[in-house]
Structures are given as structure tokens and as C-alpha cells.
């Protein structure tokens, strides 16, 4: 970034160079705890987007031929650089997004795990071979890169989710155009600087910034072969429909309403800690946040304990020591979350803990909402039907575990779910009967490590392959199947084969 009038400008990355946009359309990057303008981010022009894609298209010609070991070594270097710069990356992230420094380091680290996995691409991008499928005939497969791929990432994980995308796309031999969130692009750009330092060649990774026009340009561009998206259901559905109609591969991870079931036999203190952390951490701004807890049977008496646990969490700026809950990302987010809390009251839910308008000394202009808990929530209420994306927990009741499972399965979303119990039989029944793609057993946020893939389901996902892990290797490659026969020089030709059989 460079400074103009004391406010830095966020750059585009095109063909290995960080360049100033020529656009007339700029937005402020704002610290959500102070409202300080940290930088100005450009909304790229159509010509700049075309240049970024053209750079990726040109670089693909040589990058796809780069030996797999050479690609892997770049990511070995990249993971080292991320580790060495972890504190700096977390500080940038906290300043622009608001989450606590500890959580910001977690954001970076969960992305780093994917970079480490990308460094093992030699063991992941493997084809298969069947010998002698017919007389003297072998069949084998190659997993070959697609070309220029693109990623559209959200504000809530500005380090982790870009790192879900471009390392695996590039490691498999593709080139990449990234559009980070315009709300907090600074840590993403620092990660891109480190990627170039690690040895990613010019044109292999490009970055453009912007809003709906840039998203549409990515969906429409004929030279982009695949699009990865993480964000809201509304935008994700638009991206999936538009990009797939343009002939692209598309994967969209979208909204959620994640439920946890608490059985009466659950370990009480561990369960309360897990629920509070998963519901209110990152101010509830996680697609895998725990936003509904279903208390079964005698566990319904735990509500006062849950409120007491939530009251122990400290609301403050993310940079302050001991902070548990930082600010929401923007003034608009604050207004939306506050409005939904009021809607919950109006619709008859019992407000057990009201986190609105907390007193945060020194940060009076911050976008703060403290932990908020509703009980008596029903399926018809707005606070149940909508993804609040704030530190708001809906508590519901069920007489039996099967009643709770039916409630969860009736919800259209399927990102994640959890059960808290000491019963192996109950846990196994839950994992078999629940219709949700990612299941935690005494784990409140069951986001898989990169050896597996992110497997949200139903209305939380469009596309059949998830980010990172084995599935994303399939997503970013085309399987080419070769059937070959080599004739012995002395072999005498047989009769003409006019059948479909291999002979």
C-alpha cells in the first residue's frame, strides 16, 4: 500500500506487480472498534479485471508445466513465511475486522494448515492405473489443471478463507484471480505479498477488489474456468447460477443456522464453555457459529447457568488483553443485529441476556454488541429463521433427542451441528440420523482439518465439491482418462474389430 493524503490505498495485484487502480470508485476500510479509516480500497475497472485474467491466462501456459515438486516447494516456503509473520498478520486482521488478536491468529493458523496441505500436493494429485483391462490394454487417469480459477471471499475470515482457495488451486497447476472482501482486504494483501516472496511467479496469483460489478465480471469472464465462493446465501446463489450458466465449475459455501443438542448427561461445565465460545466468539460472525442450542429434557434447567457463563465474557476492542468478544465489522452490521434482537423481543421470545449498547471504555464509537441470549424461541420467529451473524444465541427446548433431531433436520440449512453427551449410543444415533454435512460430538464448531474437506450441505452449499482437502483437488482439476495399447513390432494384425469390445 502507498499513502495519499495520509490514508493508504490498497493495491491491485496484476502480473506480479502491486499497482494503483485507475478507478474513480473507492471505499473506506474502517477499524470497527474506533471508526478510524485505515485505508482506501478500489473497485477495479472492467479493464483491470480483464488484465488480471489475461495475466493468469498467460502464466498458465508455463505454470501448468512446472514440475509438481517445484510447486510444492513454494508452499513449503510460504508456510514458513506465514509462521514468521503470524503476529503481524493477526494485528492487521484485528485492526480491520475487529476480532481478538488470539482469534485473529487462529484465523491465520487455520488457513496455514491448508498451505501445509498444499505443500503435499505430490501425494494428492495422483491418478489411477488399471493394468491389462483387455489384452495388452492399460487404462490410467491424469488430474490436470483447468486454467484460470477465481475466488470470492467474505469479511469474516479474511486470512483463512483466501488460504482455503488460492494455495490449493495454484498447487494443482492453475492460476488464480482473487477478489477479497472490500471491507477488510489488508491482511489478504499481506498474505499475497508473502506468496510472491515464497516464489509464486508473476501472473499465477492476481488480486482485484470490488463489489457486485466485479463479482459479475468474474462470473461472466469466458477465460475463468472455476469459481469458489464463501459468503451469504443470497450472493452465493447468484454467483452459482450466473457462473454455472456461463459454463464454469462453481462451489459456493453459504449461510447457516447451526444447532447444538444438549442432553442431560452432558458434562455441564465443558458444555457451557463450548457453547459460549462457539456462540459468542468472533462476535458471532462465523458461518459455523453456534446460533441455536436445543436443551433436551432436564437440560432445560441450564438456562441460568448459560446466562451466567455468557456474562463472564469481556466485550472490548480486539487489541485489548483479555477480550472475548470484539466489535461487529461495520455500523450496518450493528444496526442489523440490534434490529433483529428487537424483533425477537417483539415476536415474544424471552430476552434472558441483552447485550445491546454495552459500555466499552475508550471505544465508545465501536460497533459492539455483547452476548445476547433468547429463550422460548420458536420456529416461526425471525431470529430463528434468519442468520443473525452476531453474538445472539437462541435457546429452544425438546422433550427427547429425536424431537431435537427432527427440529434440526426441518431447518433448510446444513452447515454444521453438534451434540453434547456422555453416551456413545446417543452420539452414534445422532450422527446417523442428522441431515447436516458437518457433525461435532462434544465439539461445537466441527470445521474439518485440511486432510478432510469442508462438507456443509443442503441450503448451506451449492456445488458438489467442498473447499480444501481431497474434494478440492477434484474441483480444481480435470480428470483425463487414457486407454492405451502398444503393439509389438513383430505382431501380426488380426481381423477388423467392428464391435465395442476391447479385443
Any domain includes 5: no
Any domain includes 451: no
Q: Same domain for 311 and 374?
A: yes
Own/partner pairs for 450-457, CB < 8 Å, 24+ apart? 450/113, 450/114, 450/116, 450/117, 451/117, 454/164, 454/253, 456/253, 456/254, 456/256, 456/287, 456/414, 456/415, 456/416, 457/414, 457/415
Q: Which distant-in-sequence residues (6+ apart) come within 8 Å of 199 by Cβ?
A: 73, 74, 77, 78
- % the chain with pLDDT above 90: 96
Q: Do the beta carbons of residue 416 and residue 466 sit within 8 Å? A: no
Instruction: Write the CATH number for 376.
Output: 3.40.309.10
Over the stretch 6-39, which tens digit does the pLDDT of each residue have?
899 999 999 999 999 999 999 999 999 999 999 9
Q: Same domain for 54 and 183?
A: yes
Tell whether the model's pLDDT for residue 3 goes beyond 60. Answer: no
Over the stretch 399-435, which tens digit does the pLDDT of each residue have?
999 999 999 999 999 999 999 999 999 999 999 999 9
Any domain includes 243: yes
Mean of all residue pLDDT scores within the chain: 97
Tell whether the model's pLDDT for residue 326 goes beyond 50. Answer: yes
Residues with catalytic function: 287
Q: How many CB atoms lie within 10 A of CB 489?
A: 5
Any domain includes 494: no
In the chain, how many domains are there?
Answer: 2
Query: What pLDDT is recorded for position 488?
Result: 86
Q: Same domain for 411 and 294?
A: yes
| Residue in 181, 156, 161, 151 with CA at minimum distance from that of residue 110 | 161
Q: Same domain for 198 and 335?
A: no
Crossing angle between the packed helical segments 186-198 and 86-97, to the nearest 10 degrees: 160
Over the stretch 381-392, which tens digit does the pLDDT of each residue have?
999 999 999 999
Q: How many CB atoms lie within 10 A of CB 407?
A: 18
What are the DSSP calls for 272-298, one per residue? HHHHHHHHHGGGG--TT-EEEEEEEGG
Residue pointed to by grid coordinates 505479498: 193
Q: Same domain for 132 and 188?
A: yes
Any domain includes 7: no
| Band of pLDDT at residue 5, cut at 50, 70 and 90 | low
Q: Same domain for 101 and 183?
A: yes
Instruction: List the alpha helices (DSSP H) in 149-228.
Output: 160-171, 186-198, 212-220
| Band of pLDDT at residue 358, cut at 50, 70 and 90 | very high
Over the stretch 106-129, which tens digit does the pLDDT of each residue have?
999 999 999 999 999 999 999 999
Q: Do the beta carbons of residue 9 and residue 38 sit within 8 Å? A: no
Tell whether the model's pLDDT for residue 393 goes beyond 60. Answer: yes
Q: Same domain for 335 and 191?
A: no
Which segments within 300-391 are labelled E, that is strand?
350-353, 372-375
Q: Same domain for 164 and 218?
A: yes
CA–CA separation, 467 and 166 (whole Å): 11
Q: Same domain for 277 and 315?
A: yes
Query: What pLDDT is recorded for position 265?
Result: 98
What are the DSSP calls for 460-494, one per residue? TEESSS-SSHHHHHHHTEEEEEEEEE---TTPPP-
Residue pointed to by grid coordinates 430463528: 384
Any domain includes 454: no
Instruction: Write the CATH number for 33.
Output: 3.40.605.10
Q: Do the beta carbons of residue 349 and residue 375 sit within 8 Å? A: yes
Residues in the chain: 503
Query: What pLDDT is recorded for position 477?
Result: 98
Tell whether the model's pLDDT for residue 4 goes beyond 50. Answer: no
Q: Same domain for 279 and 408?
A: yes
Q: Same domain for 422 and 476?
A: no
- Helix, strand, coil share (%) of the chain residues, nearest 5: 40, 25, 40
Any domain includes 227: yes
- pTM, two decimals, is 0.97
Q: Do the beta carbons of residue 144 and residue 478 sit within 8 Å? A: yes
What residues make up the domain containing 163?
Answer: 12-254+469-482
Any domain includes 230: yes
| Residue in 149, 154, 192, 210 with CA at minimum distance from that of residue 23 | 210
Q: Same domain for 131 and 166?
A: yes
Query: What pLDDT is recorded for position 13?
Result: 98
Amino acid at each position: 500500500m502507498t499513502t495519499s493524503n495520509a490514508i493508504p490505498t490498497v493495491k491491485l495485484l496484476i502480473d506480479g506487480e502491486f499497482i494503483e487502480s485507475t478507478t474513480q470508485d473507492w471505499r473506506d476500510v474502517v477499524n470497527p472498534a474506533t471508526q478510524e479509516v485505515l485505508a482506501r480500497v478500489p473497485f477495479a475497472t472492467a479493464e483491470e479485471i480483464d488484465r488480471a485474467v489475461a495475466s493468469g491466462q498467460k502464466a498458465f501456459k508455463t505454470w501448468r508445466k512446472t514440475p509438481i515438486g517445484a510447486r510444492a516447494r513454494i508452499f513449503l516456503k510460504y508456510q514458513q513465511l506465514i509462521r514468521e509473520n503470524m503476529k503481524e498478520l493477526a494485528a492487521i486482521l484485528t485492526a480491520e475486522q475487529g476480532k481478538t488478536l488470539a482469534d485473529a491468529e487462529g484465523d491465520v493458523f487455520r488457513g496455514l494448515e491448508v498451505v501445509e496441505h498444499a505443500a503435499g500436493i505430490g501425494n494428492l494429485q495422483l491418478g489411477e492405473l488399471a493394468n491389462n483391462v483387455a489384452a495388452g490394454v492399460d487404462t490410467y487417469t491424469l488430474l490436470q489443471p483447468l486454467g484460470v480459477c477465481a475466488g470470492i471471499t467474505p469479511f469474516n475470515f479474511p486470512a483463512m478463507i483466501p488460504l482455503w482457495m488460492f494455495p490449493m488451486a495454484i498447487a494443482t497447476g492453475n492460476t488464480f484471480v482473487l477478489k477479497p472482501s472490500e471491507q477488510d482486504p489488508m491482511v489478504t494483501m499481506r498474505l499475497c505479498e508473502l506468496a510472491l516472496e515464497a516464489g509464486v511467479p508473476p501472473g499465477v496469483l492476481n488480486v482485484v477488489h470490488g463489489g457486485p460489478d466485479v463479482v459479475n465480471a468474474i462470473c461472466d469472464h469466458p477465460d475463468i474456468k472455476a469459481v469458489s465462493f464463501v459468503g451469504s446465501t443470497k450472493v452465493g446463489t447468484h454467483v452459482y447460477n450466473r457462473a454455472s450458466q456461463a459454463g464454469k465449475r462453481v462451489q459456493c459455501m453459504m449461510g447457516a443456522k447451526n444447532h447444538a443438542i444438549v442432553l442431560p448427561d452432558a458434562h455441564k461445565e465443558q458444555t457451557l464453555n463450548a457453547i459460549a465460545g462457539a456462540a459468542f466468539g468472533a462476535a458471532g460472525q462465523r458461518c459455523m457459529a453456534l446460533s441455536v442450542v436445543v436443551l433436551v429434557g432436564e437440560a432445560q434447567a441450564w438456562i441460568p447457568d448459560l446466562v451466567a457463563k455468557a456474562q463472564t465474557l469481556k466485550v472490548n476492542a480486539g487489541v485489548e488483553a483479555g477480550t472475548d468478544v470484539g466489535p461487529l465489522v461495520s455500523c450496518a452490521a450493528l444496526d442489523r443485529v440490534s434490529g433483529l434482537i428487537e424483533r425477537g423481543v417483539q415476536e415474544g421470545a424471552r430476552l434472558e441476556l441483552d447485550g445491546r449498547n454495552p459500555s466499552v471504555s475508550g471505544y465508545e464509537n465501536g460497533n459492539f454488541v455483547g452476548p445476547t441470549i433468547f429463550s422460548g424461541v420458536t420456529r416461526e420467529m425471525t431470529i430463528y429463521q434468519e442468520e443473525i451473524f452476531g453474538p445472539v444465541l437462541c435457546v429452544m427446548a425438546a422433550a427427547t433427542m429425536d424431537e431435537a433431531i427432527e427440529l434440526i433436520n426441518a431447518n433448510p440449512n446444513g452447515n454444521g451441528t453438534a451434540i453434547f453427551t456422555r453416551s456413545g449410543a446417543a452420539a452414534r444415533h445422532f450422527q446417523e440420523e442428522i441431515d447436516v454435512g458437518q457433525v461435532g460430538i462434544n465439539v461445537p464448531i466441527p470445521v474439518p482439518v485440511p486432510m478432510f474437506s469442508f462438507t456443509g450441505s443442503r441450503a448451506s452449499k451449492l456445488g458438489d465439491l467442498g473447499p480444501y482437502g481431497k474434494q478440492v483437488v477434484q474441483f480444481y482439476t480435470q480428470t483425463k482418462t487414457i486407454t492405451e495399447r502398444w503393439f509389438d513390432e513383430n505382431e501380426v494384425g488380426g481381423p477388423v474389430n467392428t464391435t465395442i469390445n476391447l479385443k
